[in-house]
Amino acid sequence: MTEQPSELDRREQLARNLAAVQGRIAAAAALRELPAPQLIVVTKFHPAADVRLLAGLGVRDFGENRDQEASAKAAEVAGFADIAPPLPRWHFIGQLQSNKAKSVVKYAHSVHSVDRLQLAAALDKAMAVEAERSGRPPLDCFIQVNLDEDADAQSGPAGRGGAAPGTVPELAERIASSERLRLAGVMAVAPLGVSPDAAFDKLAAVSARLQVQHPEASGISAGMSQDLEAALRFGATHLRIGSDILGSRPAVG
């Protein structure tokens, strides 16, 4: 573990990084005549104290990719009395097992990684209970799309990379048919070894096809620290930025 900066130093560091990323977004967005994208700051591996500092800097949307970490962090953040409204919103962006749906709907505003019918059904069922209990609004669902070259030829359940493009219509119907789920759009992570432009171009095409049947599902969640400019060129509406704001994550081994 490296030495921890003081809270004041950390606040300054986050403010500087955030401003730099916002500058990149503004410069890229200025080239298009579309509304500013939503910035989701990915706080995985970083403590709730960073969420508090970022909330103080005006960030509202946070991303996490593991339920265990996210649920604990969300609970900790909910306990901070000094965060002024609007309160943080949590976006679940990682691979999700169906048996975690019940936990995720307790804190998540959205799930960006819906990649199979079974998961959509589990989220729907979990939301039935949670909406009754808490009166929460519908869960925003993005369909994670596998942008691998041969995704539609791969057999078996969705792998790490999301739903094959050919399965998106059926999955979209399942989500859109639920009153408790809101079909928000598509999401992808650019595959390694392919130019991000080619990947995001393909995602834009999947999104356009989806919107023929579901005009409301106009969200495109794409773009991370390394490729946010490319994602914006191809219409990203939601960016998920971690390391360029929070700093590098501890290596997982």
Binding ligand PLP (rule: CB under 6 A), the pick from 37, 88, 235, 242 is: 242
Does position 225 interact with ligand PLP (CB under 6 A)? The reply is yes
Residue ranges in 52-81 that form contacts with ligand PLP under rule CB under 6 A? 65
Q: By three-state DSSP, how is residue 242 classified? A: coil
Contacts for 155 with CB less than 8 Å, ≥ 6 apart: none
Q: By three-state DSSP, how is residue 184 classified? A: strand
Report the distance separating Cα 33 and Cα 49, nearest Å: 36
Does position 42 interact with ligand PLP (CB under 6 A)? The reply is yes
C-alpha closest to that of 56 among 3, 107, 8, 109: 8
Give the shortest CB-64-to-ligand PLP separation in angstroms. Answer: 9
- With respect to ligand PLP, which residue has the nearer C-beta, 44 or 73? 44
Give the shortest CB-24-to-ligand PLP separation in angstroms. Answer: 12
Does position 43 interact with ligand PLP (CB under 6 A)? The reply is no
Report the distance separating Cα 201 and Cα 197, nearest Å: 6
Stretch that binds ligand PLP, among 6-14, 156-164, 211-219, 242-250 (CB under 6 A): 242-250
C-alpha closest to that of 234 among 198, 186, 201, 199: 201
Binding ligand PLP (rule: CB under 6 A), the pick from 171, 189, 204, 210 is: 189
Give the shortest CB-158-to-ligand PLP separation in angstroms. Answer: 14
Number of residues near ligand PLP (by CB under 6 A):
14
C-alpha closest to that of 186 among 219, 209, 155, 215: 219
| Residues of this chain that bind ligand PLP (CB under 6 A) | 42, 44, 65, 93-94, 189, 224-226, 240-244
